[in-house]
Structure 1
Amino acid sequence: MGGLPKKAQQLEELRKGKKAVLALDSGALLFKEEKIPPDQQQQLTTTAQGIVSAYNRMSFAAVGVARQDLAAGLAFLLSLQQKSDFPWLSANLVSRSQAKPYFKPHLVLRKGGIRIGVIGLTGPGPDAILPQKDNAVILPWDDVLPKEIAVLKGQTDMLVLLSNLPAPINRKIAETHPEIQLIVQAGTGSGNLVPERVNNTLITQVEQQGKSIGILEVRWNRHSRKWEDPGAKNLLLDKKNELDRLGWQINRYRKHGDPKLAFKGQAEVLAAYEELLAQRERLDQELCRLTKEENSRNAQGAQFSSFSHHFEAMRKELPDNPAVRAIVNATTSEVNRIGKNAAKARIADSSGENQKGSSGNYAGSTACTGCHAPQFAKWRGTQHAMAYDTLEAKGQQFNVQCLPCHITGPAAQTGQEMLALAHDLRQVGCESCHGPARAHTLQPAVAKAGRPTMDTCLRCHSGEHDDRFVFAEALSRLRCGAD
């Protein structure tokens, strides 16, 4: 929920500066996965309720029903629908016995003098997410979508599809149904997807869990209902954004002084820096070419519709919306309270196994001090060594959604085990980078410690948590000196 206060403030600022702002979400809003671990059910459903309260304050026009939103069960989502000030949309999630939709299949909105039809489609998958007792089924999209388009014909100037379908299916829809001018997909991949035109349909995606907001500015001609070819214009914007990102990464290296001196003897880091410089040079040349093309473009095509776009990451320096911040604080406080009670119950349960927390093959960082005292001392000065402390400072040390990136060995832990973890594993310790080390402490020459890879770091330093992570720079800064 961390990005919601900033997302809310961004929307508020947009509405101040624009005459018509339509806030839509394609779903995968409430949960990351399609299945919830039983011991995390209460915390995750509490978080979902807080998300809906925040979206109510943000005045969203509609949210699509994705399979991930059904992770706590259809009954739970139907109960949340009663608390939602916005409609949940799904044309193909229907009653098995009566074939009637459980949610609104579509709605028609008017913004800026344009009538906009919005349809929702839920993605297919294993039936386990909808047990027999739910009396529900997800119908094939091609059984439902043509009927929805026919119903909306003549009622709208523009059609938008909120889709939880796989990306190849969305492309097929764009190829066969030019009546749909925009597909916003969700829950089928990670990251932001720059709008791509397929036939007469734009397909785009914003990364999940409120980490970014996608802004699509549309200048729509309701008579032609056709997009102009963006040509060099949008490509030029993409390349400028890419150049900005490269500049930021290059400056990260230069913070240490001349990289050739600062990273002398670190061939891997210097090679990564030189590659960034080469990429920037190639981009500079391409930008010159694209700028010439843009300047020479013929100013025709006014009969067509056009768009521009950008993605706003919810960076820490952005201001928070006070009302949504209050909702997030109250929700996370309740989530932490639930976790604290669960931890107390586990420790107090005399029949439970491994009351101090399951450590599996993990030895704990203090076990490293005998042979690696200098490396241990360096680690103690890093933010990794204080990762659990930051949760305690925020009163979130019992939040199982946050814990995996603030402790050692999360892959082997269930939610309950994380809550009662041994004290020496309550931080991002040596074994977070080098792997479980109990065997290494017993036979150092036989069981060698592993080396961190980029994948090791990206388990937590991913786009949703750290959108400016540079592996080579981080490795050079945190390198403990171990062989």
Structure 2
Amino acid sequence: MTMRAAVLAVLVSALLTGCRRQEPRAPESGAGSVPGQQQASAPTPAAPPGAVLFISADTRGYLGPCGCSENMRGGIGRAAFQVQQARQGGQPVLYIDGGNSLFGETHLKADQVPQEERKAKALADAFRTMGIAARATGELDDTRGADFRKGLGLPEIPSGGVKVLDAGTRKVGVVAAASGEALVKASQQAREQGADFVVGLLDQPLEAAQAAAALPGLAANLVVATHSASEFSAEENRLVRSDVPVVAVQSKGRSLLRVDLTYAPAKGPFTPQRSQGDVEREVTALEQRIALLDKEIALPGIDPKLKALKQGKRDELAARKQGLLTAPPAPAADVNGFALRFLPLESNLPSAPDTQALVKAYDADVGQLNLAWAKAHGQDCPLPEKGQAGFVGSAVCADCHPDATGVWERTKHHHAWETLEEVGKQHHLNCVGCHVTGWQKPGGVCRLDKVAGREDVGCESCHGPGSKHVDAPSPATIVGKPGEAVCVTCHNTENSPHFDFATYLPRILGPGHGGTGKSGQAGEPPAK
């Protein structure tokens, strides 16, 4: 190639390059900038017209999970974080509570009152950090009377009442009722007051809510069953798809219901968006994988390295699921729609700092309140009835059963009290009963200030009170081989969801204690 040809080739290449579309480049820090002048940033895409509703119900006095097992759902701090994050998205956000949230029982013993009232106040304060817009009430809110409940200063809707809330260019009506007939009447009133979308909060279990949703004249778009039939009857989120969808949120603050409203240019009826099928299927598949990992992680004796790997994978799947659940649905063109999604409050989710600070303050206060009450008003347990055995303590058992005691000392039952002390909950009435021996039983422990010598899940927790056995050592004077029914009083659905008697039992057995093999191999799942 001649020199002239080479020069022409360079010129042609430069011209062609100049004709190509150049992709914009973000300016490097300090490059080409003028001091004191801000660089223009790309505009944030506007949120589509609509609003987000968060609904809780049937919290039953839970600020958070007990923490007995790993990867437990729930926590008012995690719920608050979800609401606060959504408020950064540019759409109106309304938080609504369906009631039955302040207490877990309709009647309290005298020693429970200081703790449960303090907890209800902490929940009310947490609701305020979430910007609560409205709440219904149920029988589990009136455990300490209507005056106590009203004194918390929350924005209540009386039974049969209506509250209409601004939600951008639309209005959301929230109605509370204790019967289907009252729900129909209140929903019609909400429409008359200008509500475009109506949420019905029914103080009944899911089955009754389904019947109410089918009543003629109902003007609600959604019915929420806010009171589960019993303590353990709302272990899962439930959605019944019908002309008027019916939902029951997992109890004890373990999930939130998220309702995404999308607005068309013109007002009109809202229709459920059913285009989320692919997302729902993927979420279901992820939840099945997470549940399997939870069970594997909870296996007693699992290798720590394998456990860490499985936990990492579980957190990854949970994060993926959370992303799917919180992504706003694609709005349907020219349709006012709503999409329903449950948000399980998984253990890997963050907590809102301001709300979590309220929980920590409660934890610090309630132990002192309970201990002070026990010292001032506590009464010892009644003595066993004539002819019945009483508790003697594990130290007495060790005199005649050194081998069995050696096995027990290597289990986590032996450290049950210590696990409470580590988290400062040794004076919490919700916890102590499964971490001492003979709690609230004749001849046992009935006062928080008199636990000494009965700490831990001792011999008599499983084999029964031992005074008669001490006086007359014989298999007939003790429970020789306790069955599963004894274990599940503490290893229940809530505290130990993956408990399996056949799998866990070998972890507390060893030579001299119903088992064989090397004495140092006894172990067991975390104490409950």
TM-score where L is the length of structure 1: 0.71
> In the alignment, residue 117 of structure 2 is paired with which amino acid?
T
Residue 213 of structure 1 aligns with which residue?
Answer: 256
> In the alignment, residue 208 of structure 2 is paired with which amino acid?
I
CA distance, structure 2, for counterparts of residue 374 and residue 451 of structure 1: 18
Residue 219 of structure 2 aligns with which residue?
Answer: 179
CA distance, structure 2, for counterparts of residue 120 and residue 320 of structure 1: 29
Distance 1:480 1:408, change over 3 A: farther
Q: Offset at 1:171?
A: 1.0
Distance 1:433 1:254, change over 3 A: closer
Q: Offset at 1:366?
A: 2.7
CA distance, structure 1, for counterparts of residue 104 and residue 403 of structure 2: 40
Contact 1:356 1:422 in 2 (8 A): no
Alignment of 1:66-105 (within 5 A): 66-81=138-153, 84=154, 87-92=155-160, 105=161
Contact 2:188 2:219 in 1 (8 A): no
Distance 1:52 1:460, change over 3 A: farther
Distance 1:466 1:324, change over 3 A: farther
TM-score where L is the length of structure 2: 0.65
Deviations 1:370-423, CA, capped at 9 Å, x for gaps: 454334333333433223233334443332233223222335389992424442
Contact 1:196 1:202 in 2 (8 A): yes
Residue 412 of structure 1 aligns with which residue?
Answer: 441
> In the alignment, residue 227 of structure 1 is paired with which amino acid?
P
SS at match of 1:405: coil
- Whether 2:106 is the aligned partner of 1:39: answer no
Alignment of 1:88-167 (within 5 A): 88-92=156-160, 105-122=161-178, 141-154=179-192, 155-167=194-206
Alignment of 1:20-35 (within 5 A): 20-35=92-107
> In the alignment, residue 268 of structure 2 is paired with which amino acid?
H
Alignment of 1:434-453 (within 5 A): 434-441=463-470, 442-446=472-476, 447-453=478-484
- Whether 2:238 is the aligned partner of 1:194: answer yes
Q: Offset at 1:55?
A: 1.3
Alignment of 1:201-350 (within 5 A): 201-208=245-252, 210-219=253-262, 223-228=268-273, 233=278, 234=280, 237-250=283-296, 256=302, 303=335, 305=337, 307-315=339-347, 317-346=348-377
Q: Offset at 1:25?
A: 1.8
Gaps of 5+ in 2: 1-62, 65-74, 304-331, 515-528
- Whether 2:448 is the aligned partner of 1:392: answer no
CA distance, structure 1, for counterparts of residue 187 and residue 196 of structure 2: 12
CA distance, structure 2, for counterparts of residue 51 and residue 427 of structure 1: 30
Q: Offset at 1:88?
A: 1.7
Q: Which moved more, 1:355-364 or 1:322-331?
A: 355-364
Q: Offset at 1:38?
A: 2.2
CA distance, structure 2, for counterparts of residue 68 and residue 413 of structure 1: 30
Q: Offset at 1:161?
A: 1.6
CA distance, structure 1, for counterparts of residue 389 and residue 365 of structure 2: 30
Residue 120 of structure 2 aligns with which residue?
Answer: 48
CA RMSD in angstroms comes to 3.7
- Whether 2:421 is the aligned partner of 1:383: answer no
Contact 2:95 2:133 in 1 (8 A): yes
Contact 1:252 1:473 in 2 (8 A): no
CA distance, structure 2, for counterparts of residue 16 and residue 475 of structure 1: 49
SS at match of 1:176: coil
Q: Offset at 1:357?
A: 12
Larger radius of gyration: 2
Residue 44 of structure 2 aligns with which residue?
Answer: none
CA distance, structure 2, for counterparts of residue 304 and residue 333 of structure 1: 48
CA distance, structure 1, for counterparts of residue 269 and residue 130 of structure 2: 32
Q: Offset at 1:118?
A: 0.7
Contact 1:165 1:185 in 2 (8 A): yes
Contact 2:174 2:200 in 1 (8 A): yes
CA distance, structure 1, for counterparts of residue 175 and residue 399 of structure 2: 63
SS at match of 2:272: coil
CA distance, structure 2, for counterparts of residue 337 and residue 29 of structure 1: 24
SS at match of 2:121: helix
Distance 1:66 1:47, change over 3 A: same
Gaps of 5+ in 1: 93-104, 123-140, 258-299
CA distance, structure 1, for counterparts of residue 234 and residue 486 of structure 2: 15
Residue 4 of structure 1 aligns with which residue?
Answer: 76
